[in-house]
Amino acid sequence: MTESELEQLRAEVETEIYYCKKNGMTYSKIDAYLSKMFSGRTPKGTHLRKFTRPILNDINKKIKREQGGELLKQKPPKPEPKKEPAYNTYINTTTAVEPIETRTEPAPQQLYEKGKRIKLLVGMFDQHITGVDRTPISRPAQVVYKWCAEHQPDELVIGGDFGDFMSLSKWEEDYPGHKEGDCFDRAVTFCNYNLDIMQSVTRNKKGKLVYTLGNHEVWVEKYKSKDPHARRGIYDVKILFRLEDRKIEWYPINGSYKVGHARIKHGSNANIQHATKTAGSSCGESVFYGHTHDIQCHSGIREIDLLPFVAQSCGCLCNLNPYFMRNRPNKWVHGFLIMYIRDDGSFTYYVPHIVNNRFIWNGKEYSA
Ligand SMILES: [Fe+2]
C-alpha cells in the first residue's frame, strides 16, 4: 500500500469515526461498524483494530480538548418524548392510508388520431412528503393515484418539491419533530414508497416517470456542503430515490421537461400574478408548473405565428395548513395536471381541483 493510499484510507476512517461519534455510538459499536466498512482494506499484516484504534483515540482526544472533556463522559441523552407540533394540524392529511388498488381493470383503450397514438400524461406537483407527520401518502395524492390506476397514464411527471426535507432546512430549526434523528430517513422511505406506487399506476406498469427537481430538493444538496462529515453520498436526491435504477428521467432545478408543445417544470415565480410573469418570460411556449401551490392561468397568442400558448400553475398535493403557516389563510389548493398530447405536439389539458379530497371526472367521483 502506497503512502498516498494509506493517507486516503486514514481520511476515510476519520470521516466515519466523526459520523459515529456524532451519533453517540460506543467504542464497541464503532469498532463493529468500522470492521464492516473497512475489512480487508488495511495494510498487509495490520489488524484492522490496530489501524483504527489510534485514529479513534486521536479524535477522542481532539473532541475532549475542544469540549473540555465533557463529551466523552456524558452518556448519550435520552430521547425526549414526542411532542405534537403546535401548528401541525394536517387537516386534510392525517387519516390512515387506504391501499391503492393499482389494477382494478385492464388498461383502457388507447386513443389514436390518424393512426398515431395520443399520449396521456399526469403531472403531480408539490407533495412535500415529510417524515414528521408519519403519513406516507397525502390524501389528495391518494386521489390522484386512484385516478391514475384507472386511466393508466403513459407518463407521470413529478413537478418538484416531492420531498419536503424540512429536517435539513435552516428555516425551521425550532419546531419539534423536524430534527429527530429518524425524521429524514422516514421521509426518504415515504418518498420511495410513493415512487413505487407511481410506477405501478402507469400504463402496464411500464410508463415513463419524469422528475423535475424543486427548491426543496436543493436543500438536500445544500446540506451536503454544510456538513463535511455527513454520510458520503447520502445527501443526493438521485441516490436517495434511486432515480437511475428506476429509470426516472430527471431535470435539475429550473430545468423543464418538454413534451409536445408543452414544458413542465417546478416553477420559480411566486409573485401574485405569477402566471402572467411566467407567460411573459416563456418565449411563447406553454409552461405548466407548481411551486406556488395555487391554480392560476395566463393565456396568450404568439406575435410571430399567432399560435396560442398558456402558463398554468397546477396546485399542490401537500398539507394546506403546515405548521409554518400558523393557520394563516393562503391561496393554496389541491390539484394536478391531466394532459392528452397528440402526435403533432398539440395538447388538451385539465387541472381538476381536489376539494376535501374529492373530485369528479367524467361522471365518477374519486376520493380518499
Ligand atoms: Fe412547494
The model's pLDDT over 146-187, given as tens digits with 9 standing for 90+, comes to 999 999 999 999 999 999 887 776 655 555 555 555 677 788
Model pTM?
Answer: 0.70
67-76, 216-225, 350-359: range with highest mean pLDDT: 350-359
Can you say whether the dihedral through the CA atoms of 194, 200, 203, 205 is positive or negative? positive
CA distances from 62 to 14, 54, 132, 337 (A): 12, 12, 35, 55
Question: pLDDT at position 77, please?
Answer: 61
Question: pLDDT at position 334, please?
Answer: 96
Instruction: Find where cell 408543445 sits.
Output: 261
Question: pLDDT at position 100, please?
Answer: 62
End-to-end CA distance of the chain: 60
The answer on pLDDT for 66 being more than 80 is: no
**Ligand 1 mean position to 161 CA, how many Å?**
5
CB 333 within 8 A of CB 295: yes
**Ligand 1 mean position to 295 CA, how many Å?**
13
**Ligand 1 mean position to 333 CA, how many Å?**
12
CA distances from 156 to 98, 205, 206, 251, 290 (A): 21, 11, 11, 14, 15
**Ligand 1 mean position to 67 CA, how many Å?**
40
**Ligand 1 mean position to 267 CA, how many Å?**
9
**Ligand 1 mean position to 332 CA, how many Å?**
10
